[in-house]
Amino acid sequence: MRTQVGIVGAGPAGLVLAHLLAARGVESIVLEARSRAYVEQRVRAGVLEHGTVELLRDLGLAERLDREGIVDHGVGIRFDGRHHRVPLTDLTGKSIFIYGQQELVKDLVAARLEAGGETRFEIEDVRLEGIGSASPGIRYSDGGRDERIDCDWIAGCDGFHGVSRSAIPAGLRAEYDHVFPFAWLGILAATPPSSQEVTYARHDRGFALQSFRSPEISRLYLQVEPDEDLGAWPDERIWEELRTRLATDDGWRLSEGPVLEKGVSAMRSFVVEPMQHGRLFLAGDAAHIVPATGAKGLNLAVADVRVLAEGLGEWYASGSTEVLDDYSRRCLRRVWRAEEFSAWLSGMLHRMPGENAFERRLQRARLDWVTGTESAARAFAQNYVGFPFDW
């Protein structure tokens, strides 16, 4: 078997890359370890930056997103019982889109299959071969059969726990890792959102976040311990804690309903440099992860593959490696901006273990600054809606 670009992973990075390449006339095969049903149901991100939505529209992949997604023009920040609004669109001219990652993945898979693009689910034991040579390949097992795909290039889009990153020799990659001293307990609940805008809360008991996925489904998060036992959180305890942490003194009420799903996610920052070795390019969570606070992970994945598709398209069109040679530098500039923003926002909104009264005062001063001055609110808003792709 042969293809031009072998893509490992059918998450947002791998699937958007496959579509971007197809639009440039470059063929690819996508290999995914999980089943189609699994990747289409995995509940994760929900905030799409302005640029991500524009890119999907340009690819003709935003029809359902435009119909069912919710445009948000502002973000709420709560502390000391008061609600403050950062007017994203007034400050930047841009908005964000609320659309579940699993819905986006469904759209991307359906469009890929409809266009006849090859995507193999439930393959096993992926190994990358010859990435330092001009004829790399992907070996894997499919239903017990050993297969190999010869390709010109390999895109490692297999997420944080994938195998691609480790194909770069350890001595040739630097890894930057930071584990935050808290985790998020997230629920999906069958109840309309209490507020039509994503709302962050800083409370002495810890952080909370009110978000949603549709007019009927809410997504809510609570700061918990990194090793939190989910069994210690019956639904009523979760709602009680959300009511406390999100409360305002103006009579706002939390909308509650049956919990459909719950889980605990670690908060971590990770970056590998460079994001390329020989004929292998890493994209998305395979190369970097951010704490979910800034809602940047999926958007970074899309920004990476946009550069990668441009570089591969140019190589097939003219043989030039100019863009490919600059891939890591271009992506990492944006990645580190998002890392900094996500860490800063996390630090401002979470209760830190062992924090003292002085540190709490500093946190409060940052919150006052962001919610009380236009210049700080504008900087927050620019980061939140996302920097332009050519930044």
How far is Cα 387 from Cα 381, in angstroms, rounded to an integer? 10
Among 3, 5, 11, 156, binds ligand FAD (CB under 6 A): 11
Nearer to ligand FAD among residue 12 and residue 117 (C-beta): 12
13 binds ligand FAD (CB under 6 A): yes
9 binds ligand FAD (CB under 6 A): yes
How far is Cα 381 from Cα 125, in angstroms, rounded to an integer? 43
119 binds ligand FAD (CB under 6 A): no
- Sign of the Cα torsion 291, 293, 298, 304 reads negative
381 binds ligand FAD (CB under 6 A): no
Query: Residues 6 or more apart from 316 whose CB is under 8 A from it?
Result: 4, 24, 25, 26
Stretch that binds ligand FAD, among 81-89, 155-163, 310-318, 353-361 (CB under 6 A): 155-163
284 binds ligand FAD (CB under 6 A): yes
Nearer to ligand FAD among residue 268 and residue 366 (C-beta): 268
* Helix, strand, coil content of the chain in percent (nearest 5): 40, 25, 35
How far is Cα 108 from Cα 320, in angstroms, rounded to an integer? 29
Among 46, 74, 117, 136, binds ligand FAD (CB under 6 A): 46
Stretch that binds ligand FAD, among 11-19, 58-66, 233-241, 372-380 (CB under 6 A): 11-19
102 binds ligand FAD (CB under 6 A): no
Among 22, 32, 254, 380, binds ligand FAD (CB under 6 A): 32
Nearer to ligand FAD among residue 125 and residue 204 (C-beta): 125
Shortest Å, Cβ 365 to ligand FAD: 27
Stretch that binds ligand FAD, among 79-87, 288-296, 332-340, 366-374 (CB under 6 A): 288-296
Reported in sequence order, the residue ranges of the chain that DSSP labels E, i.e. its strands, are 5-8, 28-31, 47-48, 70-72, 75-79, 82-86, 96-98, 118-120, 124-129, 137-142, 145-150, 153-156, 174-189, 199-202, 208-212, 218-224, 259-273, 276-277, 280-282, 288-289
The size of the interface with ligand FAD (CB under 6 A), counted in residues, is 34
Cβ–Cβ < 8 Å for 168, 277: yes
Among 6, 12, 117, 193, binds ligand FAD (CB under 6 A): 12
21 binds ligand FAD (CB under 6 A): no
Cβ–Cβ < 8 Å for 32, 4: no
Element housing 99 (H / E): none
Give contact residues for ligand FAD (rule: CB under 6 A). 8-14, 31-34, 39, 44-47, 101, 126, 157-159, 162-163, 186, 265, 284-285, 292, 295-299, 301
